[in-house]
């Protein structure tokens, strides 16, 4: 009997303050909590025959370390860098160093917000950016990344 092919693994990075979802500025970020978002992503991953591994960190260095650590077992990343989207050269460098594709996601439409939020350091090197659809942004990002990874299959 042939071995079942191993499912793709996708890393999901949640940046600072996303652990407060559900109570943090619900008019902007909605009422769904991070565990609820992760549960929906896990279910969607099963439907797509992939696995997701999620991590949330408020510290920039912890996100960099997560990228490095996870890169040994994932095929790509879904990244909501939160406030680090606009400031973290270190996170961008980590993503570039591991040379894996990533999709940038945002719950809100960063281009419709304050001027300082409109510039992403990650976007120019991401496969794409999805934002403004609340938690659905993560699901769309996962679908897009899986499509990209499988398009040559």
pTM (2 decimals)? 0.90
9 is a domain residue: no
Q: Indicate the DSSP class of residue 25.
A: -
> Is 29 a catalytic site residue?
yes
Closest CA to 52 of 126, 4, 103: 103
Q: Which of 14, 29, 84, 138 is catalytic?
A: 29
Q: What is the CATH classification number for the domain harbouring 33?
A: 3.40.50.9100
Among the listed residues 14, 84, 106, 138, the single catalytic one is: 106
**What is the residue range of 49's domain?**
14-150
In 2-152 the beta strands, taken as DSSP E runs, fall at: 8-14, 50-56, 76-80, 102-106, 128-131
Average pLDDT, the chain: 92
**Which of 40, 88, 41, 43 lies closest to 62 in space, CA to CA?**
88
Q: What is the pLDDT of residues 134-148, one digit of tens each?
A: 999 999 999 999 999
Q: Known catalytic residue: 84?
A: no
Residue 3 lies in a domain: no
Tell me the per-residue pLDDT of 46-100, one tens digit each, with 9 for 90 and over.
999 999 999 999 999 999 999 999 999 999 999 999 999 998 999 999 999 999 9
| Percentage with pLDDT > 70 across the chain | 95
Number of domains composing the chain: 1
Question: Inter-axis angle of helices 34-47 and 136-150, to 10 degrees?
Answer: 30
């Amino acid at each position: 009997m042939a071995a079942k092919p191993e499912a793709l693994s996708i890393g999901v990075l949640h940046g600072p303050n996303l652990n407060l979802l559900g109570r943090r500025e619900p008019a902007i970020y909605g009422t769904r909590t991070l565990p609820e978002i992760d549960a929906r992503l896990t279910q969607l991953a099963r439907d797509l025959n992939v696995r997701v591994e999620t991590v949330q960190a408020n510290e920039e260095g912890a996100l960099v370390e997560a990228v490095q650590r996870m890169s040994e077992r994932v095929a790509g990343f879904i990244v909501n860098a939160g406030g680090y989207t606009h400031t973290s050269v270190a996170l961008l460098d980590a993503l570039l160093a591991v040379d894996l594709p990533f999709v940038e996601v945002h719950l809100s439409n960063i281009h419709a917000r304050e001027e300082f939020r409109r510039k992403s350091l990650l976007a120019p090197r991401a496969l794409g950016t999805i934002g403004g659809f609340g938690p659905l942004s993560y699901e769309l990002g996962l679908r897009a990344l899986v499509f990209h990874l499988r398009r040559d299959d």
